[in-house]
Amino acid sequence: MTTLIKARRLIDGKGGSLDNGAVLVDGDRIKALGTQDELAPPEGAEIIDGGGMTVMPGLVDAHVHLVNTGEAFSARDARTATSEEMMILAVKNAFLAIKTGVTTVRDLGGKGFITVSVRDSIDKGVIPGPRVVSCAAALTTTGGQSHYKSLEADTPDEMKKAVRYLIKGGADCIKIFGSGGNATPGSNPLASQYTLEEFRSATEEAHRMGKHVAAHVHPTTAIKLALEAGVDCLEHCSWLHPGGLGVDEAVLEEISAKGTFISLGFPASWYRVPLDDIQDVMDRAGREALLEPRYESIKRMFDSGAKVVASSDAGSTATRIDEFALLLEFLVNSLEVPAQKVITSATSLAAEAIGLGDAVGSLAPGKQADILLVDGDPSTDITALQRVATVMKAGKVVAGGGQVFI
Ligand SMILES: [Zn+2]
């Protein structure tokens, strides 16, 4: 089937845009794009006229947790949730993601192989949802960050074996909890959980098997170790140190030089949810003191030459998967990161970071037809991303007008 999508504005996801744009879709792929004058609809083509809207690539959220609720007590609830409950949550979250224009997610920590099954069920058309790049379960130390749902591994050999086990079970990538975090009592966000040798063992084995590695790293000590070990994607990259929070410029320069991705994994609990409503390990005063330095560090990372991906950590405290667009609004309207940069970071750059750069993330001939129509122009009003009118995935309209088509 051939479809021509027209809209007043076209954003390609790589920083380019056109007025009166059109995208020609053939089967599951994009065949051509151009202005409406250039691109005449072939005979028999279906025409989707977006009128004054914007046509753009589907959003890519490079850091989510499908098995978590994303409600205020998400972290606490996840500690006692059964696998069956997590499976149901994952199906619900997949539905919410596609409904709001998130056509691809990378899941960075479920339990067992739940998200692998969800991914496969979506691909088979059993349930609606985005494309899922799944790490299955993350690696953590015994009793470490998110140990209740992760795979505990404590030595280089255990890391290697865990990587093999996860890939055997269908994992697309490997996630390492490289430091403690705020969601797990007893873990330490200020300390690395692994040695260089341990990071390296998991990373080399994953690379040998053709899989990329993402590491959750809050403190600068863990950022440095993960970077040196050759990890592909630094999650959170919070630059914590015993005295507070601040970018280490020499390390940031090295991240840029190596081309390592930074994925913000920046949940709503850091910018949108009242501090009194947050229930996690860090106390209120401790969190409040870090807010401004964290915002400054994010601006600094976007300004540097590093490849920064705007990802949500959906599923963590008070961060719902269908509110990704609110994070993008915060980055543009509060932190003053240029809108096109934020859009690129949540489309083509995010796709590249999760290993799908050749398949999705931008409007280009040959790419999968994962396409949105949004009401407004997000390059001048980022809130347009909260008004997704039509969602196409692999050339099929899968959601629109607040409905998901099953
Ligand atoms: Zn996370």
Over residues 1-26, the pLDDT tens digits come to: 899 999 999 999 999 999 999 999 99
How many A from CA of 317 to the centre of ligand 1?
Answer: 10
Instruction: Provide the token pair at 227.
Output: 């970077």
Residue 188 in contact with residue 182, Cβ under 8 Å?
no
Instruction: Provide the token pair at 185.
Output: 């009592």
How far apart are alpha carbons 230 and 232 in whole angstroms? 6
How many A from CA of 27 to the centre of ligand 1?
Answer: 35
Instruction: Provide the token pair at 210.
Output: 């053709």
How many A from CA of 246 to the centre of ligand 1?
Answer: 21
How many A from CA of 136 to the centre of ligand 1?
Answer: 13
How many A from CA of 324 to the centre of ligand 1?
Answer: 14
For residue 271, what pLDDT is reported?
Answer: 87
The SS3 of residue 151 is strand
Matching CATH topology for 2-57+361-404 and 59-353?
no
CATH 3.20.20.140 fits 59-353, yes or no: yes
Mean pLDDT of the chain: 95
How many A from CA of 318 to the centre of ligand 1?
Answer: 12
For residue 162, what pLDDT is reported?
Answer: 98
Q: Is the pLDDT assigned to residue 372 strictly greater than 90? A: yes
Give the max Cα distance, the chain: 66
For residue 184, what pLDDT is reported?
Answer: 82
Closest CA to 235 of 147, 173, 320: 173
Q: Are strands 244-245 and 233-241 parallel, antiparallel or unpaired?
A: antiparallel
Instruction: Provide the token pair at 382.
Output: 């980022």
Q: Are strands 29-35 and 17-26 parallel, antiparallel or unpaired?
A: antiparallel
Q: Are strands 396-400 and 403-404 parallel, antiparallel or unpaired?
A: antiparallel
ipTM confidence score: 0.98
How many A from CA of 52 to the centre of ligand 1?
Answer: 37
Domain ranges in the chain are: 2-57+361-404, 59-353
How many A from CA of 28 to the centre of ligand 1?
Answer: 31
How many A from CA of 297 to the centre of ligand 1?
Answer: 19
Residue range 251-262: average pLDDT? Answer: 98
Considering only the top CATH level, what class is 2-57+361-404?
A: mainly beta
